[in-house]
Amino acid sequence: MEVNRNINAITRFLISCSGASYDILKQCPRFEIVKYSSIGMAILSTALLAFLSSFYAFSILFDSLIVIIPLSVFWALIIFNLDRFMVSTMRSYNNWNKELIKAVPRIIIGILISVIISVPIELQIFKTEVGNIINSDNEKKISDLDQLFVRQIDAVVVERNKTEEVFNGLLTLREKYYEEYKCECDGTCGTGIVGRGSECERKKEKYEMFLAEIELEKVKRDATIARLNLTEADLRQELFSKKEVMRSGFSFGLADQIKALNEVNKFASWFIVAIFLMIELAPILTKLLSSTGPYENMIMALEREFESNYLLKLDELNSIRSKNHKLNSIYDNLELQSKATAFKSALREEQEGKYDRIRMELQNKIAK
């Protein structure tokens, strides 16, 4: 088979991104190299999109590029290695059901990755719409706060106006008592007697007593008006303070933007998610829909060769263990036989010694 030696550095890099073995792949036909370099390009594209997505997401959370860039690179490497692992570990079995079962977990993970990556990109694309929705929600919160305090302020104003109306009514009644008093004393009404008669004195006394009551009511009115004015000023100051606190708490945080994103056009949002799904699942679907090619055959051949060598080594080890076990058994038997022989020799020597001592004793007795 002709070896592909004219593979440029970019193609080698893309092959490495796909998780395929360059040493094996360079022995395959050219179309296999194109296939796996395309898969590597798709995986690399997903990693680049993951970097851009995380860069925007982290820029919402942090202000320093020293923090944002390393975190974005780290996240992109996680996605890159995860995609590379999922694609490189897929095998063609020429069995659609078996391949589909193996691919389902990878497809699920790919969908999750697509959704996670697409959300920050969607936030960037729909930045204006999301900002308008958040501003509208913030203005609604301020409006609700205004309405709450306006009701309280209106109640204070109504009470103040009522107090003024009551006091103005007393002033009107004072003028009425005064006109009756003057009219009676002038003789133009009432008894018609000119001068300070009894009726004139009575109405004068009535008028003067009412003047004293009005002075007391004026003091009460002034105190009530002052209290209500102070209450209204406090409410308006509290409203202003709460508005400032509320405005300072308004932010375009990541969670707020994601929540607002759900109110944007669903079709446009899902369209972007579908684009990311196509990019993310392209390598997996390519492996799933492709038949077993030369590269897969060579991989399986190497796996079978490795398995055969492993089993052969295992058999050799088992054979050595068996031989060692037999040798140990022989050594144990020889050791037992050696110990038995030594014991018999010791026993024979002991008996011979006893026999010699008895014989010597008998010879000594006969000699005496």
Name 67's Cβ contacts closer than 8 Å, sequence gap at least 6: 58
pTM for the model stands at: 0.53
Section 232-261 average pLDDT: 73
- 1 pLDDT band, cuts 50/70/90, is very low
More confident residue, 326 or 94: 326
Q: Do residues 18 and 40 make contact, with C-beta atoms less than 8 angstroms apart?
A: yes
* CB atoms closer than 10 angstroms to residue 287: 24
Taking 60 as the threshold, does the pLDDT of residue 32 lie above it?
yes
Indicate whether 66 pLDDT > 50.
yes
For range 95-99, the mean pLDDT: 68
Across the range 327-342, mean pLDDT stands at 74
**Confidence band for 285, pLDDT divided at 50, 70 and 90:** confident
The kind and range of the H/E element at 138 are: helix 127-186
Higher pLDDT, 263 or 142: 142
**Residue 175: pLDDT above 50?**
yes
* Mean pLDDT rounded to a whole number for the chain: 77
Tokens 């991104």 -> residue: 17
Q: Which comes out higher in pLDDT, residue 124 or 191?
A: 124
23 pLDDT exceeds 80? yes
What is the structure's pLDDT at 251?
63
3-state class (DSSP) for residue 231 = helix
Whether the per-residue pLDDT at 191 is higher than 70: the answer is no
| pLDDT surpasses 80 at 248 | no
Q: Which of 27, 21, 35 is nearest to 5 (CA)?
A: 27
Give residues with Cβ within 8 angstroms of 220, minimum separation 6: none
Q: Are 214 and 174 in contact (CB under 8 A)?
A: yes
